[in-house]
Chain A
Amino acid sequence: MAHDWQPDFEQLVDEHQSMVFSLAWRMTGDRGLAEEIAQDVFMELDKHLSKIETPQHACFWLRRVAMSRSADALRRRRVRGMDLWVEIEERHGMRVEERVSPLGMRLEQLLSTLPEPQRAALVLRYQEEMTPEEIAAVLESPLATVKSHLQRGLKLLRSKANSYLKEYVRIKEQASGV
């Protein structure tokens, strides 16, 4: 029974901090700001804990508030995307290259240069594996708009990555002796 479930704040933090932090980071491109946003999101969750009914509800609520808070922060800070992303990556000494391929890193950087609505749709689609219907619910946007953002965002990202992809494939072929 859903009503038997009691939200445990600490457990929710353990389960979802990575999701909330990653959403905020990918939306703002600023690690420090993402941590602040994640803190604010969880503090707000704490205030609304009694209204959270199921684990799914908690997850949906956190995604929605994380995206909304990130959009607010972007509006305030007017973060300029890729340049800042690279700067922040270097400043915080993140070793993402250990886990992500060079192309993956490049895609992540290019993603931060996309218009905000397209970036939001792509992050929810490919980070959170959400369906367009679920994305529409989280972003409170019409389904057709979300589908359009996904298509356009993917197309734009691909075109931006195209030259890099060619170079990447060429280097890979050279390395494998093809």
Chain B
Amino acid sequence: MEEFEQELRQALERRPAPPSLKRKLMERRRGRKPQSHAVPWQRLAASLALAAVLGGAMAWEGHLREERRKGEAAREQVLIALRITSQALNRMNQQLAAHGRAQE
């Protein structure tokens, strides 16, 4: 078995890589490098855009909340006015009824 293993060891010696391998590799690496420099800028731009979108969404949400609060306040005022009017009308009604009874 040892002789067989020795033969196998010799058969499986490393083969030299094709000369084009390193050249292509260095070309690919050079081609990729500017992108790798661009990545932080792209990340920064993406982060800024995301922050702007989130900020806009939050501002819009705040605006809606303020509008809702104003609407609620206006509604409350209208209800108060209606209550006051209703009370005034009731009072007037009672006075008219009392006046009618006095004439009778």
Contact = CB atoms under 8 A, between A and B. Distances in A.
A18 B12 contact: no
A46 B27 CA distance: 13
Contact of A108 (B11, B22, B25): B11
- 5 pairs of A and B residues whose beta carbons are closest in the complex: A104-B11, A21-B17, A17-B17, A127-B12, A107-B11
B10 A122 contact: no
A158 interface: yes
Interface residues of B, number: 24
B contacts with A: majority SS: helix
Interface string B18-52: 10111011101100100000000000000000000
Interface residues of A, number: 39
15 contacts: A13-B22, A17-B21, A21-B17, A22-B14, A39-B21, A43-B28, A100-B13, A103-B7, A105-B11, A108-B12, A111-B8, A122-B8, A127-B13, A161-B4, A165-B4
B7 A127 contact: no
A62 B24 CA distance: 18
Contacts of A42: 25
A116 interface: no
Contact of B15 (A21, A103, A105): A21
Given A10-B26, A43-B32, A126-B9, 17 more contacts: A9-B29, A13-B26, A18-B14, A22-B14, A22-B15, A35-B17, A35-B21, A39-B24, A96-B15, A99-B13, A100-B13, A101-B7, A104-B11, A107-B7, A111-B8, A126-B8, A154-B8
